[in-house]
């Protein structure tokens, strides 16, 4: 692993998830991670876009909670089974990340329609097509047309969902839910144990869907252990020396 900077704190900003809260990230930049090093960070609550690694360090709030699914014991709910049936005609493939214009077009449309944001090509490449670790692209196609794309990192213990984009016109299919279900299945097929789904934030409705994938484990920021209802807590992934001091 090449560490470009020691962790530092971002400038305080309004929280995008909860009202009247302040957001601060601890962040650093790195390159050349192998899958064991990546899992070390994932199991300690770090996330990434491109070479930018981050996790919450808000002064008075620990609401953002890392969530992962133990894929060997995952069982889809009734609603998730309906999504699987509704999307059964879609072709799903997993392979190397390679740039294609239709990927950026999909990303641009998704950002504009879903979030009211204009996205730049440079941002797209830096965040999703310039990765410092092993990765995958999941393609979701309908009759040969790209309907969705999932960007995934590959750790030694699991897959991590980085970002998923889809054609907003396909919203009635629930492509976001379908992508998680298929990526959980892919994690299991690869003999890995966990699917990392990012942060869930109690009180934030748009993040609530993540808690619907059961069973799931939540990271306790205080002791660094992963907990699941009715189970003994699990320690974070071992395997490398602490990559930075402080």
Q: Is the peptide bond before 215 cis (omega within 30 degrees of 0)?
A: yes
Q: Could you tell me which of 187, 190, 52 has the C-alpha nearest to residue 131?
A: 52
Fold of 74-191: Aminopeptidase (3.40.630)
pTM for the model stands at 0.94
* pLDDT for res 234: 86
Bridge partners, residue 65, by sequence: 200
* pLDDT for res 239: 63
User: Residue 67 CA to chain centroid, in angstroms?
Assistant: 9
* pLDDT for res 241: 57
Beta strands 25-31 and 2-3: pairing type?
antiparallel
* pLDDT for res 243: 65
Can you list the residues of the chain whose pLDDT is less than 50? 245-246
Helix ranges (H only) for 7-77 are 35-42
- Angstrom distances, CA of residue 98 to CA of 45, 95, 126, 130, 148: 27, 9, 13, 10, 15
Q: Are 1 and 33 in contact (CB under 8 A)?
A: yes
Burial 136-174 (b: 16+ CB within 10 A, else e): bbbbbebeeebbbbbbbbbbbbbbbbbebbbbeebeebb
Expressed in angstroms, the distance from the first to the final Cα of the chain is: 18
Q: How far apart are CA 106 and CA 26, in angstroms?
A: 30
Residues with Cβ within 8 Å of 85's Cβ and at least 6 positions away in sequence, in order, are: none
* pLDDT for res 116: 82
* pLDDT for res 246: 39
User: Residue 97 CA to chain centroid, in angstroms?
Assistant: 16
């Amino acid at each position: 692993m090449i560490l470009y900077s020691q962790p530092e704190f971002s400038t305080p900003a309004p929280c995008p998830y909860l009202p009247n809260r302040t957001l601060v990230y601890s962040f650093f930049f790195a390159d050349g991670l192998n899958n064991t090093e990546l899992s070390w960070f994932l199991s300690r609550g770090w996330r990434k876009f491109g070479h930018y690694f981050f996790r919450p360090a808000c002064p008075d709030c620990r609401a953002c909670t890392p969530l992962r699914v133990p894929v060997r014991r995952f069982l889809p709910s009734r609603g998730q089974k309906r999504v699987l049936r509704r999307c059964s005609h879609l072709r799903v493939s997993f392979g190397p990340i390679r740039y294609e214009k239709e990927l950026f077009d999909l990303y641009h449309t998704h950002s504009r329609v879903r979030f009211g944001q204009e996205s730049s090509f440079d941002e797209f490449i830096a965040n999703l097509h310039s990765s410092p670790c092993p990765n995958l692209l999941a393609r979701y196609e309908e009759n040969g047309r790209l309907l969705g794309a999932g960007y995934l990192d590959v750790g030694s213990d699991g897959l991590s969902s980085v970002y998923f984009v889809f054609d907003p016109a396909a919203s009635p299919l629930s492509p976001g839910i379908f992508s998680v279900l298929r990526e959980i299945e892919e994690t299991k097929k690869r003999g890995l144990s966990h699917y990392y789904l990012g942060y869930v934030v109690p009180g934030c409705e748009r993040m609530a869907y993540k808690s619907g994938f059961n069973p799931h484990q939540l990271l306790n920021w205080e002791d660094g252990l992963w907990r699941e209802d009715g189970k003994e807590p699990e320690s974070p992934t071992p395997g490398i020396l602490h990559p930075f001091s402080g």
